[in-house]
C-alpha cells in the first residue's frame, strides 16, 4: 500500500498534452520577444561562447581528416609539378645552348664573309587607352605619339609576337592597325623550312590566312610563321601566327590555310613599340621603252 501511494505521489502534475501546449506557447513567446525586443541577444552570445569549444571538438576529426587529405594531394601535385618543371628546364637548357651555338656560328660566318651585323632594335613601352569604335576595324590607340618620337610604320608587339603597326601618329597618341585588320599583310616565313609567304588579316581578331599558296606547298598544321624581315618593315624572326587548318582541293590551284595570331591582339593592355629599322636601298625602277611598257614585258612580246 505504501508503494502505491508513493507512485501516485510522484505521478502528480499536468498531463503530457498540457505540458506540450505550455512549452509550445512558451517557445513562441520567447521567439516573439527575441525577434521584437532583442532581449535574449546577450543570452545567445553567452551560450555561443560556451558551446563554441564543444562545436570545435565535434568538428575536429573531420577537419583533421580533410587537412591530411589536402596535404597528401598537395604533396603529390608538387612532386608532379617538380618533375614537369625539371623536364621543361632540361629542354629549355638544350634549346638555349643550341641557340647560343647558332649565334656564335652566325657571327663567325658573317665575320668570314665580311657582312655587317644587324643592328639591335630598341623598344618603348606603351599602353592601350582606346579601342576602335567600329566593330569592323581592328585598330587601337596607344598613349605614345609624336611627343615620344613615334613614327608611322613602326612595329608594335607584345611578349609573344607581332601585334600590329603604327599607321597614324597624333601629338600624344598613335593609332595601331592590328595584323588581323582585313587585308593587312605581313611578310613571313615558315620557321620549319624557311618557306617565304605573306599572311593576310581576315578582319577577325582570332584569324589570319595565307593566300595564293599552291596545294603542293610544304606547309603543315602547327607550323609557326615568323617575320621574314623582307621590305625592311618588320624585324626578322619575330613570331606572327600558327597554322591551324589546311584545306587542299585538287579542283582549286591554291590551298586554304587558316592561322591563329600568336600575340594577344585583343587581350594585352601594355605593348612594345619597336624602333625603326635601317632603311633599305631603294628598289631599282624597271626600264621602260618609248611606249612606257616595262622591259620584261617588251622581252615577252618579242618572244
* Residue boundaries of the structural domains of the chain: 123-274
The pLDDT of residue 89:
84
Whole-number mean pLDDT of the chain?
80
When pLDDT is cut at 50, 70 and 90, the band that residue 121 belongs to is: low
The pLDDT of residue 42:
72
* Contact indicator for 246, 221 with CB cutoff of 8 Å: yes
Which CATH number applies to 123-274? 2.40.10.340
CA-CA distance, 138 to 141, in Å (whole number)? 11
Evaluate if residue 12 carries a pLDDT over 70. no
* Contact indicator for 208, 180 with CB cutoff of 8 Å: yes
Q: How far is CA 205 from CA 182, 199, 215, in A?
A: 10, 14, 26
C-alpha cell at 166: 603604327
When pLDDT is cut at 50, 70 and 90, the band that residue 156 belongs to is: very high
Can you give the pTM of this predicted structure?
Answer: 0.56
**Burial classification of residue 16, based on how many CB atoms lie within 10 Å of its CB (0-12 exposed, 13-18 middle, 19 or more buried):** exposed
* Contact indicator for 206, 212 with CB cutoff of 8 Å: no
Q: How far is CA 18 from CA 29, 32, 104, 123, 214, in A?
A: 16, 21, 101, 89, 97
* Contact indicator for 221, 245 with CB cutoff of 8 Å: yes
When pLDDT is cut at 50, 70 and 90, the band that residue 300 belongs to is: very low
Evaluate if residue 127 carries a pLDDT over 70. yes
The pLDDT of residue 289:
52
CA-CA distance, 182 to 200, in Å (whole number)? 7
Amino acid at each position: 500500500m505504501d508503494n502505491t501511494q508513493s507512485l501516485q505521489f510522484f505521478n502528480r502534475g499536468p498531463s503530457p498534452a498540457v505540458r506540450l501546449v505550455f512549452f509550445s506557447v512558451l517557445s513562441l513567446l520567447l521567439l516573439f520577444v527575441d525577434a521584437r525586443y532583442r532581449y535574449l541577444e546577450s543570452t545567445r552570445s553567452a551560450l555561443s561562447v560556451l558551446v563554441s569549444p564543444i562545436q570545435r571538438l565535434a568538428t575536429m576529426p573531420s577537419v583533421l581528416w580533410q587537412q591530411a587529405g589536402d596535404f597528401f594531394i598537395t604533396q603529390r601535385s608538387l612532386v608532379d609539378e617538380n618533375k614537369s618543371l625539371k623536364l621543361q628546364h632540361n629542354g629549355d637548357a638544350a634549346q638555349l645552348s643550341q641557340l647560343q651555338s647558332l649565334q656564335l656560328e652566325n657571327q663567325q660566318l658573317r665575320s668570314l664573309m665580311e657582312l655587317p651585323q644587324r643592328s639591335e632594335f630598341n623598344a618603348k613601352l606603351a599602353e592601350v587607352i582606346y579601342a576602335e569604335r567600329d566593330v569592323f576595324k581592328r585598330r587601337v590607340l596607344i598613349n605614345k605619339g609624336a611627343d615620344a618620337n613615334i613614327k608611322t610604320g613602326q612595329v608594335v608587339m607584345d611578349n609573344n609576337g607581332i601585334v600590329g603597326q603604327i599607321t597614324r601618329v597624333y601629338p600624344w597618341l598613335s593609332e595601331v592597325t592590328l595584323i588581323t585588320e582585313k587585308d593587312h599583310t605581313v611578310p613571313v616565313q615558315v620557321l620549319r623550312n624557311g618557306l617565304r609567304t605573306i599572311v593576310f588579316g581576315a578582319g577577325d581578331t582570332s584569324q589570319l590566312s595565307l593566300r595564293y599558296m599552291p596545294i603542293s606547298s610544304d606547309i603543315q598544321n602547327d607550323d609557326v610563321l615568323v617575320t621574314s624581315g623582307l621590305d625592311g618593315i618588320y624585324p626578322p624572326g619575330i613570331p606572327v601566327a600558327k597554322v591551324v587548318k589546311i584545306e587542299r582541293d585538287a579542283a582549286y590551284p591554291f590551298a586554304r590555310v587558316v592561322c591563329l595570331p600568336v600575340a594577344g591582339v585583343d587581350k594585352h593592355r601594355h605593348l612594345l613599340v619597336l624602333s625603326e629599322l635601317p632603311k633599305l636601298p631603294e628598289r631599282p625602277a624597271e626600264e621602260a621603252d618609248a611606249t612606257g611598257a616595262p622591259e620584261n614585258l617588251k622581252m615577252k612580246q618579242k618572244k
